[in-house]
Amino acid sequence: MIEERISRLKEAMKREGIDVYYLNTSDYHMSEYVPSYFRTICYFSGFSGSLATLLVSLEEACIFVDGRYHVQADRECLEHGIKVMKLGTKDTPDPIGYLKEHFKGKVIGLDGRRTSMKFAKALVREGFRIRSVDIYSELIEDRPPLENAPIYELEEKYTGLSRKKKIAMISYCLGERVHVVNNLESIAYLLNLRSSDIVHTPVFLSYLAILEGEVYLFADVNRFDGELLDRLYDDGVIIRPYESFYDFLKLIRNRQILIDENKVNYETYLALKGRGNRIYNMRSIIEDMKAIKNPIEQKNLRLAHIYDGVAVLRFLMWLEDVDKSTVSEFDAAKKIDELRLTYKAEDLSFGSIVAYNENAAQMHYYPAKDRAVMLDNKGILLFDTGGQYKEGTSDITRTVALGEVSEEIRMYYTLVLKSLFNLCSVKFMEGMSGSQLDILARKDLWERGVDYRCGTGHGVGYMLSVHESPPNIRYGHTEAGTELAAFKPGMVCSDEPGVYFEGKYGIRLENMILCRKDECNEYGQFLSFETLTMAPFDRRLIDLNYLDEKTIASVNEYHKTVYETLLPYLNEEEAAFLRKACEKL
C-alpha cells in the first residue's frame, strides 16, 4: 500500500519535472508540534513518529530520523522498501548532505509552506533548483480536516495587556515597516486569542500581517463568535480567509518587510520578494515582547504555580501510598494528568513524561501504554509534566525515590540539585545571556566528567507553548542564536540540569524561574531569579556530603517558601505531608 502511494508520488514528480521530492513533519507555521492534518509523512512511509524527513527520488525513498527513532523507523519503514537514514550514526549524511552527494544541481520539489525560509535558502545556496509545489495532498485519502474548534479570547485579567495596547506598541515599533508572521504563538499572544489546534498548545491556525497600522489576521472567520468579531473589528483587526494569505502578500510592494527566516516559511518569502520590497531578517518584535511577562502575567504565573504545586503534591502523596508493583509508568502519568485536570488546569502543557529507572535515561521517553513498565518499591521515578492554566503555563520535573536507592544515585541526585541552585541563585549583570550563565548549572557535573546533552533551560509561554525563546540557556550554539539574547526582567525560563546514564537511570530536576531586577548601583543593574515552581525535592535522595553550606541554606529556604505558599490551599493531611517533605536539611 505504502509502495503504491510512493509510486503515485513518483508519477506526480515526473509530471512536474522534479528529481527529488522533500517531505517533512512540519506544518505551515514551523510549529514544534503540529495538528494531525500535517501527519502526512506517515501516509507515504508508515513512519508514525513526530520528526522525520522523507526524500523520494525516482530511484529510492529515504527517511531521515534522529536517535530516538532509529528502531521505530526500521520497524515501520523497512518493509516498504524505504531506506532508513539514522542521523547521528557514523557516515550517515543529513538530508542536505545526502542531496549534495546524489542530486547536485538537480530539481528538488517541496511544499514551500512546510519548509522554513532559512532551509530553502540554504538549498538554493548549495546550487539546487527548488520547485515549491504541493504534489502530495491530492494523493492522500481520508486526510483529517484542519482543526476548527472555536477561537476564544483570553481576558485582560489574564493577559495583563489589552489587544489594542499590544497592537499599538508593536505598530509604534514598526513605524512604516511591514511585519509578516507565520508563528502561531506570536499571533495568539498579540491578539489575546486561544484555541486548541495543536495538542496541549492552545493556538489556532492563522497568519498575520501588520501593514500601515492595520492588522490582517488570516484565519477561518467561522471560528469566532459574533461578539468577538465585533471586538476584533473595534481593535482594528481585519480578518481574511486563511487561504488568502499568500495572494495578499503578493500585493505588497516597495516596502521594508521584517520577517524571521527561522519562523517564516519559504512560500511566504517567495510571495514577498521582488516588487521593490526590501526584506530584513530579524527575530519578531512580538516574540521579544511575548518573552517578557508583564506584571499581571507575573502575578498570575505565581498563582498558576501554586495550583500546579498542589497537583504535584497530591501526586507525591498518591505515589507514597500506592502499591508500586501494581502501577505502570502509564498509570502514574494518567494519575498526575487527572490530578491537574480535576483541580485547576485547562489542559496539560505537554504529554507527561513518567520514566522509571533506565527509561529516564532516554531524554525523549514517553510512557506509551504498550511499552510502559511496571514500577516497584525500589529505584527512582522521574516525572516531567506541566499544565496549561489561564494564569500561565507550567513545566516541572522531579525525580523521587520509590524505595531503596544506591549511594551513587543519591550522589548524582544531590549534584543535580546543587546544579539547579547554582543557576537559580545567581545575581548577575544586566545584558548577560543564557550562553553566559549555562556553566553555573554544569560545573559541578563537569568536575566529575559528566554532562547532559541538552540545554539547561528554555523559555516558557503564558498559556501557550511550553517551549519558547528567548531565553535559552545552553553552552552550545543554535541556528537561531537565541542563547545569545540578553536576559530581561520578566522573562520566564526553566532551570533543568540532569544526568542520564544509558541503561541505568536518569535524574532531572526542573524549576521554572522568573528573571527580575535586583540591586542597581555604581556597577550597573543586577538581575536575579525568583523561583515560580512550588514543589518539594526528595529529601531522601539528598546526600549532605555533596552539598555545601550555601546550597543547604538555599534548599531549606526554598522548602520553607514552598510550605508557606501552598499551605492555604491544602487540607490537613496534605499540609502534614508537605511539612515533613519540607523539613530542614
The CB-of-451 to a second copy minimum distance in angstroms stands at 4
C-alpha of 447 from chain center: 30
C-alpha to C-alpha distance for 515 and 492, rounded to whole angstroms: 6
The CB-of-232 to a second copy minimum distance in angstroms stands at 42
Among the listed ranges 117-125, 405-413, 435-443, 533-541, the one in contact with a second copy (CB under 8 A) is 435-443
Pick between residue 338 and residue 543 the one whose CB is nearest to a second copy: 543
- Provide the pairing of β-strand 256-259 with 214-218: unpaired
Cβ 402 vs Cβ 375: under 8 Å? yes
Pick between residue 103 and residue 501 the one whose CB is nearest to a second copy: 501
- Provide the pairing of β-strand 61-65 with 83-86: parallel
Phi-psi region of 5 (alpha: psi -120 to 50; beta: other; left: phi over 0): alpha
- Provide the pairing of β-strand 107-110 with 129-132: parallel
> How many residues touch a second copy (CB under 8 A)?
30
The CB-of-477 to a second copy minimum distance in angstroms stands at 9
Q: Does 476 bind a second copy (CB under 8 A)?
A: yes
Cβ 315 vs Cβ 335: under 8 Å? yes
Pick between residue 51 and residue 480 the one whose CB is nearest to a second copy: 480
Among the listed ranges 73-81, 149-157, 394-402, 427-435, the one in contact with a second copy (CB under 8 A) is 427-435
Cβ 376 vs Cβ 324: under 8 Å? yes
Pick between residue 170 and residue 423 the one whose CB is nearest to a second copy: 423
Please pick, from the candidates 429, 454, 480, 552, the single residue that binds a second copy as defined by CB under 8 A: 429
C-alpha to C-alpha distance for 585 and 421, rounded to whole angstroms: 15
Please pick, from the candidates 192, 394, 435, 465, the single residue that binds a second copy as defined by CB under 8 A: 435
Contacts to a second copy from residues 436-465, by CB under 8 A:
436-440, 442-443, 446-447, 449-451, 453
Contacts to a second copy from residues 495-554, by CB under 8 A:
519, 521, 523-524, 526, 548-550
Pick between residue 183 and residue 422 the one whose CB is nearest to a second copy: 422
Pick between residue 447 and residue 572 the one whose CB is nearest to a second copy: 447
Half-sphere exposure of 80 (CA within 13 A, CB side): 24
- Apex CA 178: angle with CA 177 and CA 183, to 5°? 135
Pick between residue 105 and residue 476 the one whose CB is nearest to a second copy: 476
Cβ 488 vs Cβ 536: under 8 Å? no
- Provide the pairing of β-strand 207-211 with 107-110: unpaired
C-alpha cell at 210: 501588520
Please pick, from the candidates 246, 248, 343, 428, the single residue that binds a second copy as defined by CB under 8 A: 428
Q: Does 431 bind a second copy (CB under 8 A)?
A: yes
List residues binding a second copy (CB under 8 A).
426-429, 431-432, 435-440, 442-443, 446-447, 449-451, 453, 475-476, 519, 521, 523-524, 526, 548-550
